[in-house]
């Protein structure tokens, strides 16, 4: 099977290079409402380059078959592509190949961990799963800034086990510090779950310090890496985390696939959350044994073409350069904070432009609802996100029901940020909120 060429990693990712890369993404060449599309909603869903689209199409055209099942040639080719994709994605995040399991998305991956720990707490998995058991008196620690996908599963786990759910509070800017976390970590803390990068404020979590705090009390760390793996170099072994989750559709890959990373010993302890075909070893009418990880966590028909496309997305991003992408986006993030804050009536969520942050900025416009702001920008051809960004507790803490978010990626250029800023300067006047 052949795939498209990925971009050569010879050029620095500056504004000119971002505009060149934009041509690799077919959807970005269109007009919206008679205006050139300015896509600044990468934090929700990234667009896909031609190389990724071609890789999935080539697989479906040439090798499509059920994996790990048939003895025919197509099944062998499909299985090879599937496992090669696993190796590529594992290498992309610094994991071993048997430490990543395909999931339907990051939400699914986080639920797999929470549900598996719940099963272990009921005695599933025997003594091998004992290190994961929770009960009354134990505590699960999250932050008030979490995406609902890294909040609700822990609420459910706390209800199911009798453990207490505690959270690191955010300040008036919507961010938190390692000192805030240190004040809450105790010998009762069994799990610390947190986002590597906030999808609302762009805050970059102090991962190393949190892992150190967790290790001191024997707690498990669970990292929501949805806003980090697509945008910056991530080495899960170097970070020292126990579990991590991220989605394909946020990193120039396909929908319907996500990745659960787990340290080998943690995956071995985790009972499966879903059961059925593919993940079994021996099935009898009075009981079943399961395959070793990662296959244990892949019940049912596997997302084969999606895995192939996600691997191609990893190759594409690596060719551009993850460190280059990080620098490019952080510069955009700082500019967004600085120049949005200078617009009368616009308040940016999160820390100021000098604080480390990713390439996104969420903001509130005085007197104008975020949905109206988003529609106003859409009329100018600018796609942003309006709403609570699946982070209602964070917005509630800030006295907001919603905010507007502009999120960048490797194709974002200065011209696009100029267009956003120019349009925003007219929002309050249009809605009569400047009187």
Give 334-337's long-range contacts (Cβ < 8 A, gap of 24+).
335/417, 336/360, 336/361, 336/406, 336/408, 336/417, 337/361
Backbone angles phi, psi at 346, to 5 degrees: -110, 125
Which of 160, 390, 400, 433 is flagged as catalytic? 390
Q: Is the dihedral of CA 386, 389, 392, 395 positive or negative?
A: negative
Q: Catalytic: 226?
A: no
| Bridge partners, 140 (sequence order) | 165, 191
Instruction: Return the exposure string of 265-275: e unless at least 16 CB atoms fall within 10 Å of the residue's CB, then b.
Output: ebbebbbbbbe
Alpha-carbon distance of 112 to 270, in angstroms, equals 9
CB 236 within 8 A of CB 261: yes
| Both tokens assigned to 354 | 């000098």
Residues marked as catalytic: 390
């Amino acid at each position: 099977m052949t795939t498209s060429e990925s971009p050569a990693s010879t050029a620095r990712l500056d504004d000119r290079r971002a505009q060149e890369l934009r041509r690799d993404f077919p959807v970005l060449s269109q007009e919206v409402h008679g205006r050139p599309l300015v896509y600044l909603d990468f934090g929700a869903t990234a667009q896909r380059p031609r190389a990724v689209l071609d890789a999935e199409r080539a697989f479906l055209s040439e090798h499509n078959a059920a994996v790990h099942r048939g003895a025919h040639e197509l099944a062998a080719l499909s299985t090879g592509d599937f496992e090669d994709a696993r190796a590529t994605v594992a290498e992309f995040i610094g994991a071993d190949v048997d430490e990543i399991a395909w999931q339907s998305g990051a939400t699914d991956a986080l639920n797999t961990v929470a549900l598996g720990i719940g099963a272990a707490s009921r005695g599933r998995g025997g003594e091998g799963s004992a290190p994961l058991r929770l009960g009354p008196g134990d505590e699960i620690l999250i932050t008030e800034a979490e995406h609902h996908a890294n909040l609700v599963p822990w609420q459910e786990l706390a209800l199911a086990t009798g453990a207490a759910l505690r959270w690191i509070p955010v300040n008036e800017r919507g961010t938190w510090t390692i000192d805030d976390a240190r004040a809450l970590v105790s010998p009762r803390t069994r799990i610390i779950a947190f986002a590597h990068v906030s999808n609302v404020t762009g805050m970059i979590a102090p991962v190393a310090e949190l892992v150190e705090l967790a290790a001191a009390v024997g707690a498990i760390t669970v990292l929501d890496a949805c806003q980090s793996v697509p945008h910056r170099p991530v080495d899960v072994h170097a970070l020292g985390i126990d579990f991590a989750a991220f989605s394909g559709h946020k990193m120039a890959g396909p929908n319907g696939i996500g990745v659960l990373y787990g340290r080998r010993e943690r995956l071995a302890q985790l009972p499966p959350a879903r059961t059925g075909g593919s993940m079994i070893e021996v099935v009898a009418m009075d009981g079943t044994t399961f395959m070793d990880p990662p296959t244990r966590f892949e019940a049912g028909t596997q997302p084969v073409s999606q895995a192939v496309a996600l691997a191609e997305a990893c190759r594409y991003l690596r060719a551009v350069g993850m460190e280059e992408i990080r620098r490019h986006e952080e510069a955009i993030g700082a500019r967004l904070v600085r120049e949005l804050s200078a617009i009368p009536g616009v308040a940016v969520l999160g820390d100021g432009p000098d604080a480390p942050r990713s390439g996104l900025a969420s903001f509130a416009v005085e007197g104008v609802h975020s949905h109206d702001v988003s529609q106003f920008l859409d009329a100018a051809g600018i796609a942003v996100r309006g709403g609570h960004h699946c982070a209602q507790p964070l917005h509630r803490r800030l006295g907001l029901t919603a905010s507007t978010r502009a999120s960048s990626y490797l194709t974002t250029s200065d011209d696009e940020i100029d267009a956003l800023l120019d349009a925003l300067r007219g929002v309050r006047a249009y809605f009569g909120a400047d009187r």
